[in-house]
A and B are shown apart, each in its own frame.
Chain A
Amino acid sequence: MSDPAPSTIDRPGQVASATPPAPGRSRRLSDRGLAVAFISPALLLLLAMSVFPLLWALYLSFTDYSATRGGPANFVGFGNYTAILTSAQVHLRALTTVIYVVGAVGLQTVLGFTIAYLISRRTHGRGLLTTLFLVPMMLSPVVVGLFWRFMLDAQFGVVNSMLGSLGLGQVEWLTRQRTALISLIVVDTWQWTPFIMLIALAGLTAVPKYLYEAASIDRASEWFRFRTITLPLVWPLLLIAVLFRAIEAFRLFDLVYILTSGGPGVSTETLSFHVYKVAFLGFNTGTASAYGILMVLVVIVLTQLYLRYLNKLKED
C-alpha cells in the first residue's frame, strides 16, 4: 500500500527565488516536470484511496473471504456474482431502489423546477428567497433523518398532530409498507428539491431577454413561449441536475439507516443498505465486494451519461 503522504507535494514557494532569473532554456521540459509534480500527488492519493481499494474489492469479489472469520480467501469464480444476480432478495432491493430513485428524483425535479420558475418571475427578494429555500440541502443527512423521524412519529409527531387538528386520522408514516417508502421519498425530496431549484434557476436566469421580447412581439402564447424558448434552454442543465441526483439517490444509505432502518420488514431496504448488511452483519466480505462492484458498474454507467451530457453542454 502506498502511503499518500502529503509531504511529497512540491511547495511552490520553495523553488521560487526573489529576482527573476534568466529565461530558462528548457522551458518545455520544466513545464512538463511542473505538471507532473503538481498532478501526481493528487493522482497518487486517488490511486491509493480509491483505485487500489476498488481493485482489492474486485479481487475479493471472486473469493469467499470473510473479514471476521479469517482464513484463506478461496477462489469461487463468478459464484458471488451469479448468486447476487439471481437472488430474489437482491431483486427486491433493486426494485425498492428503482422506485425510490425514480420517485424521489422525479418529484424533486418537478417541485424544484416549479419553485425556480416562480422565483425567476419575481423582481424583488429573489436572493433572500433562494437563500431560504437552500437551507435543507446544507443539512447533514443525519440531522435530516433524525428530525423527520421525530416529526413523522405516529403518536406524538407534529405531522400527525397537524393532520389531527384538521380532523384527519393518524397515519403510520414509517411502519407501513407503502407509507414508509413514500416517507423516504418525501424526506429526500424535502432535502434535495433545493438542489434542482438552484440549477434550474441558474438556467432560467440565463435565458436571454431578447428571445422573450421577440416572442411577445409575435404574440406567442405563454405556454408556447415556455415550451419553445424556456424549456429547450434550461433542459440540458436540468438533465445534469437530474443525473447528478440519480447517482446520489442510487447510493443512498444514511437516510434509510436512520429513518426506517429498512423497515417495515425489508420494504425500504435499498441496495446500499443491503450491501451494508451483507458486509457488516454477516461479514460475508467476498459477497459484499461483488455486490459493491456491481453497484459501482451501475454508477459508472450513470456517470458516463452524466459526463456525456456535460460535454455536450460545454460544447454548445
Chain B
Amino acid sequence: MAVSVNEAVSPGPVRDHPPPARRRSGRGRTVLEVALLTVLAVVMLFPVLWMIETSIKENRDVYAVPAKFFDFKVTLDHYRDVFVASGGGRSTLSVSFLNSVIVAGVSTVLATVLGVPAAWAYSRFAVRAKKDQLFFILSTRFMPPVVVVIPIFLMYRQVGLIDNALGLILIYTAFNVPFTIWMMKGFVDEVPAEYEDAAMLDGYTRLQAFRKFTLPLLVPGIAATAVFALIFSWNEFVFAIFLTSSDDVRTAPPAIAGLIGGTTVDWGLVAASSVVFALPVLVFAYLVRKHLVAGVTLGAVRR
C-alpha cells in the first residue's frame, strides 16, 4: 500500500491533484466545500483560542455572562502565577513543570537507548518467532493504564518506588519501548541492508557496520520517534496521579488537575498553565509533522 504520509501533511501545495469534479460542478461546489472546511476548522480551533483568551483575561471577565470575546482588559498575571508563588519564589506549578521535563526527558532517552538497537536487531536478523515477539511487544502498549497501575503499585511498594521520579521514569520507559521498537523498525527497514553487507565485506564487523553506516542514516527517524515518546510521557496522567503524591515529585498533569477542587477555582490560572503546558508539545509535534501518521499509530501504519 503506497500511502505517502509525507505528502499528506507537508505544508504548501502538494501535487497536482485536480479534484475530478471541478470540471462539471464548477465554482459553487468549491465555495461550499471551502465554507464547510472553514466552519469545521473554527469549531475545532475555538476551544484552543478560548483557552488562550481566558489565560489573558482578568478573573472578573472570565466569569462574565454573556461571555466577552473581544472587549476585555489583557493581563499577564495568570502567566506570572504559573511560575511565581503568591509570596514570591517558585510556585509548586513550576516545580511540577520541571519534574515533567526530567521524567519525560529521561524516560525518552532510556526508551530510545533500549528500543533502537532492538528495532535494528528485529529488522536485520532472523529472530525466532519474530512476529510473535513483535506482536507481544505491541500488545503490552495497549493495556489499560488503570489496570496496570494496580500491580505496579504493589510492586513499587515493595521496592520503594512509590512517589519517586524513578518509578515514573521506569513505567513511562516501559510504555515507550514498544512504540520505539515498532516505529524504529520501520525506519531501519528503509535502510538497505546491503550497506552493512558491503561494509562487512570490507572487514568491518556487523556492529561496526551498524554504527558507522546505518546509525547515521537513522538519526532523523530516531529524533522523530523520541519526540513522540516525549509527548506521550509529557501528557501522561493516570500513572502520575496514582504513583506520586508529593509536590516535589508530582508532574504537571496532576498538578494542573489539582488546580480545581479547592474552595475557589482560578480558571485564568488553569488556562495559563494549560497553555504553558501545551506549547512545547505543539512545537515538537510541528517539528515531526512528517512522521505524524506513523507516530500516532505506534509506528504500525507507515506505507
Contacts and interface: CB of A to CB of B under 8 A. Distances in A.
Are any A and B Cβ atoms less than 8 Å apart in their complex?
A: yes
A13 B211 contact: yes
Contacts of B113: 6, 9
Contact of B147 (A39, A42, A292): A292
Interface residues of B, number: 122
Given A52-B155, A202-B5, A147 B51 contact: yes
A45 interface: yes
B181 interface: yes
Interface in A236-256: 236-237, 240-241, 244, 247, 250-251, 253-254
- In the A-B complex, list the 8 residue pairs whose CB atoms are closest, starting with the nearest: A127-B11, A292-B147, A49-B174, A53-B151, A20-B203, A140-B235, A38-B121, A38-B117
A94 to B, nearest CB: 14
Contacts of B173: 4, 45, 49
B20 to A, nearest CB: 5
Contact of B158 (A1, A41, A138, A253): A1
A98 interface: no
Contacts of A52: 151, 155
Contacts of A313: 1, 301
B47 A142 contact: no
A140, A241, A296: which has the most chain B beta carbons within 10 Å?
A140
B144 A151 contact: no
9 contacts: A17-B208, A56-B155, A60-B154, A134-B292, A135-B45, A146-B256, A237-B301, A272-B147, A300-B139
Interface in A131-153: 131-143, 145-151
A175 interface: no
A304 to B, nearest CB: 8
Contact of B37 (A15, A115, A147, A237): A115
A148 B47 contact: yes
Given A6-B114, A296-B147, 5 more contacts: A4-B170, A118-B40, A140-B278, A142-B254, A198-B293
B153 A67 contact: yes
B58 to A, nearest CB: 14
Contact of A12 (B45, B204, B211): B211
Contact of B144 (A27, A199, A250): A250
Given A127-B9, A140-B235, A150 B270 contact: yes
A90 interface: no
Interface of A is mostly: helix
Interface in B110-160: 110, 113-115, 117-118, 120-122, 124-125, 127, 133, 135, 137-140, 142-155, 157-159
Contact of B148 (A23, A37, A53, A244): A53
A24, A39, A193: which has the most chain B beta carbons within 10 Å?
A39
A37 B207 CA distance: 11
Contacts of B293: 198-199, 202
A46, A119, A136, A204: which has the most chain B beta carbons within 10 Å?
A46
Interface string B268-303: 001100100110011001100100110011001100
Contacts of B12: 126-127
A206 B50 contact: no
B100 to A, nearest CB: 10
B4 interface: yes
B3 interface: yes
B278 A139 contact: yes
Interface in B27-53: 33-34, 36-37, 40-41, 44-45, 47-48, 50-51
Nearest to B204: A20
A275 B117 contact: no
A248 B171 CA distance: 18
A280 interface: yes
Given A54-B148, A130-B9, A156 B65 contact: yes
A156 B139 CA distance: 43
B229 to A, nearest CB: 13
A138 B282 contact: yes
Contacts of B62: 156
A77 interface: no
B110 A6 contact: yes
Contacts of B155: 1, 52-53, 56
Interface stretch (A80-88, A99-107, A158-166, A177-185): A158-166
A50 interface: yes
A262 interface: no
Contacts of A292: 144, 146-148, 150
A205 to B, nearest CB: 5
A251 B153 CA distance: 18
A127 B292 CA distance: 12
A305 B128 CA distance: 23
A51 B148 CA distance: 10
B200 interface: yes
A194 B44 contact: yes
